[in-house]
Amino acid sequence: MGFFGSKKKTNRYVVRKSYDTENLIPVIKCSTCNSDRVAGFKNIHTGKIEEVMFIADDDDMAEFIQTYGLNPAEIKKVY
């Protein structure tokens, strides 16, 4: 056993969050240089993107979709 002990994997539950569906649309901001992806919401009036979470793999994408109750077909990619 190490100094800090071992990390145990816990079952995480997702709390459903809401967003302003009239003014915001879900987007994935993709980098063309290093393929980083960030999930967030884009204001349809100003074009400003509010970043919510980093997407490292498919599990993160599933968590984003489940957390906000999104339809994957509605999520737009922004480069």
Share above pLDDT 70 across residues of the chain, in percent, rounded to a whole number: 81
pTM of the model as a whole: 0.77
pLDDT grade, residue 4 (50/70/90)?
A: low
Q: Do 55 and 49 contact (CB within 8 A), yes or no?
A: no
pLDDT in the model for residue 39:
97
Q: Tell me the per-residue pLDDT of 26-59, one tens digit each, with 9 for 90 and over.
A: 999 999 899 899 999 999 999 999 999 999 999 9
pLDDT in the model for residue 3:
59
pLDDT in the model for residue 6:
52
